[in-house]
Amino acid sequence: LTATATAMALSLSAGGAFAACDDGEIVVKFSHVTNTDKHPKGIAASLLEQRVNDEMDGTMCMEVYPNSTLYNDNKVLEAMLQGDVQLAAPSLSKFEQFTKQFRLFDLPFMFKDIEAVDAFQASETGQAMLDSMQRRGLQGLAYWHNGMKQMSANVPLIEPSDAEGLKFRVQSSDVLVAQMEAIGGSPQKMAFSEVYGALQQGVVDGQENTWSNIYGKKFFEVQDGVTETNHGVIDYLVVTNIDWLNGLDEDVREQFLTIVNEVTQTRNSESAKVNQEAKQAIIDAGGEVRELTPEQREKWVEAMKPVWEQFKDDVGQETIDAAQAINA
Ligand code: LMR
């Protein structure tokens, strides 16, 4: 360990502290932006780290840097191409510089729930998308679930018109910009690590995210309430540098990929539960959670769905049809 890494390991509190790598071990730095606990990605990353370090001891060593301590999502893919980090799991919304295919996942009301997202990802079309950035040097290894997004602001959001004139933080995705504009909001792209401060200081009025992110980063504490819209999804692509992956000995690569796949299976089946627990934790902490009647929700669908038309050439009508067939 370098002095910096040692200092970082010491400064990381619960979870996330990594094992010291021995000389000769292949070091896999995994940089991500969320909490380590009570979070689908954080838990999966810690499990992956533990399994690699237990089962591949002497060959490979993983160091997980959570909470944007190493890179935020806007920098991590560049760092990966430079060889400074080997693994990341940015949300599917954060690949715009590399592919337009993932825009499918940002289209509002595309998937009715996380099971539909899972089925699409497992389909031939979904699996082919893992390989869509090979020419740009990136290889998708797996999809990790977070869950469905909810809306929050510093005023109650019951109908889309309540969002008119409000400033919303969005991830770095043009689809999400268009979605917020469709409800009369004024969207602002911003790194995840800056959202809490921006909400607290009124730089933005609202945001959209999953229960586990709204709970984990305490957004609910600086919002009027959270409205259960389930209008979109945040899922992740576990991604690596293709040259790095191809440079591994075949048996090492196979063992590593097997562990990634097993962790994916184990943790994806728990993601909905982790989010439900986060929702309950928000309520227990005194956060306001608002449900919509079917009529109210339909108004959000009507307001947001025209965004599909804008991006259908990027995504491809066949891909949209494939996703919709799964939803039926
Ligand atoms: C966000 O930026 O809101 C999310 O992508 C963060 C995350 O990794 O869940």
Quick: pLDDT tens for 69-110: 999 998 999 999 999 999 999 999 999 999 999 999 999 999
Closest CA to 88 of 50, 124, 44: 44
Separation of alpha carbons 159 and 297, rounded Å: 8
Q: CA–CA distance from 38 to each of 13, 47, 185, 215 (Å)?
A: 15, 13, 30, 9
Separation of alpha carbons 90 and 77, rounded Å: 9
Tokens linked to 167? 């400033």
Rg of the Cα trace of the chain? Answer: 20
Complex ipTM: 0.99
Bridge partner list, 143: 237
Closest atom of ligand 1 to CA, residue 210: 9
Nearest CA to ligand 1 atom 6: 192
Q: For residue 106, how far is its CA from the centre of ligand 1 (angstroms)?
A: 13
Residue 44 pLDDT exceeds 70: yes
Confidence (pTM): 0.93
pLDDT tens-digit map of 156-165 = 999 999 999 9
Average pLDDT of the segment spanning 222-227: 98
Closest atom of ligand 1 to CA, residue 236: 8
Nearest CA to ligand 1 atom 3: 192
pLDDT at residue number 20: 78
Separation of alpha carbons 122 and 124, rounded Å: 7
Closest atom of ligand 1 to CA, residue 207: 3
Count the residues in the chain. Answer: 328
Beta pairing class for 206-210 and 167-170: parallel
Closest atom of ligand 1 to CA, residue 89: 8
Nearest CA to ligand 1 atom 2: 192
pLDDT at residue number 328: 82
pLDDT at residue number 13: 37
Q: What is the DSSP string of 136-147?
A: GTEEEEEEEEEE
pLDDT at residue number 14: 37
Q: For residue 251, how far is its CA from the centre of ligand 1 (angstroms)?
A: 33
Separation of alpha carbons 16 and 49, rounded Å: 9
pLDDT at residue number 18: 54
Q: For residue 88, how far is its CA from the centre of ligand 1 (angstroms)?
A: 12
Give the rounded distance of the alpha carbon of 132 from its chain centre: 18
| Cβ contacts of 107 within 8 Å, gap of 6 or more | 175, 232, 307, 308, 311, 315, 320
Average pLDDT of the segment spanning 275-293: 98
Closest atom of ligand 1 to CA, residue 191: 2
Nearest CA to ligand 1 atom 5: 91
Q: Binning pLDDT at 50, 70 and 90, where does residue 175 land? A: very high
Tokens linked to 83? 């060889």
Closest atom of ligand 1 to CA, residue 93: 5
Q: Ligand 1 site: residues with CB under 6 angstroms? A: 33-34, 91, 146, 171, 192, 209, 213, 234
Beta pairing class for 26-31 and 87-88: parallel
Q: For residue 89, how far is its CA from the centre of ligand 1 (angstroms)?
A: 10
Q: Calculate the CA dihedral of residues 127, 214, 84, 61 and round it to 10 degrees.
A: -80
pLDDT at residue number 19: 57
Q: Round the average pLDDT of the chain to a whole number and report it.
A: 94
Residue 145 pLDDT exceeds 60: yes
Q: Ligand 1 pocket test: pick from 92, 146, 189 the residue with the most ligand atoms within 8 Å of its Cβ.
A: 146
